[in-house]
């Protein structure tokens, strides 16, 4: 059975909320556009819509709540244990709202990527769309990056540019960015799983890209 399962690399998704990027990854997998197979969802929020998406598509899911553990280290140790149970080749943070530290990241070097709704290094952290509107930029976008211990500070794999319109609200801008997030995430996942992505310090080199 393991040889059959390994016909495609294993992808584990970590999410906290709606799971729209999680759904995009599932759809790409089912349509054959994704090089990997989604084998599990890890969620810190027992009420997350992402869990419903996993159930509908027959994807195993595990809830690991931060409040159930006395320290961040113990919380991350449990996340490591659950993630390893899926034998991941790549871990994708798709709206996972906790900052991961050494306890988790050291177990999966260059195997954890994240999607963020801005053109990093601009507008890191929460409410990136609101930050962009408040700053008055003409363009923003989305970024897929490797995860390090900082807040949206890891080496950048790919980015997409999105215009900011004069009458944009936070929700309208977020929706425009989200449309680009879905395709960028799939593109970057495939590049990483295909062995085309190498890091040289902060620089990410994509071969054949």
Q: How many Å apart are CA 86 and CA 205, to the nearest integer? A: 28
Question: At 118, which helix (H) or strand (E)?
Answer: none
Q: What does the alpha-carbon distance between residue 154 and residue 150 come to, in Å, rounded to a whole number?
A: 7
Cβ–Cβ < 8 Å for 199, 112: no
Among the options 10, 57, 116, 182, which is catalytic? 116
User: What sign does the CA torsion over 177, 179, 180, 185 have?
Assistant: positive
d(CA 156, CA 67): 31
CA distance 107 to 119: 28
Active site residue 182: no
| Residues 6 or more apart in contact with residue 77 via CB below 8 angstroms | 103
Distance CA 43, CA 19 (A): 10
Query: Catalytic positions, please?
Result: 116
């Amino acid at each position: 059975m393991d040889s059959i399962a390994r016909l495609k690399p294993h992808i584990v998704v970590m999410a906290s909320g709606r799971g729209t990027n999680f759904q995009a990854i599932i759809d790409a997998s089912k349509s054959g556009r994704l090089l990997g197979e989604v084998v599990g969802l890890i969620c810190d929020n027992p009420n997350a819509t992402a869990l419903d998406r996993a159930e509908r598509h027959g994807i195993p899911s595990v809830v690991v709540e931060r409040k159930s553990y006395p320290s961040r280290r113990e919380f991350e140790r449990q996340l490591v244990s659950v993630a390893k149970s899926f034998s991941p080749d790549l871990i994708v943070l798709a709206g996972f709202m906790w900052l991961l530290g050494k306890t988790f990241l050291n177990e999966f070097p260059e195997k954890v990527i994240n999607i963020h709704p801005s053109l990093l290094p601009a507008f890191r952290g929460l409410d990136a769309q609101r930050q962009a509107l408040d700053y008055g930029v003409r363009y923003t976008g989305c970024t897929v990056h490797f995860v390090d211990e900082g807040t949206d500070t890891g080496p950048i794999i790919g980015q997409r540019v999105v215009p900011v319109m004069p009458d944009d609200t936070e929700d309208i801008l977020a929706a425009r960015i989200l449309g680009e997030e879905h395709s960028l995430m799939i593109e970057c996942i495939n590049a990483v799983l295909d062995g085309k992505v190498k890091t040289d310090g902060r620089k990410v080199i994509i071969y054949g890209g």
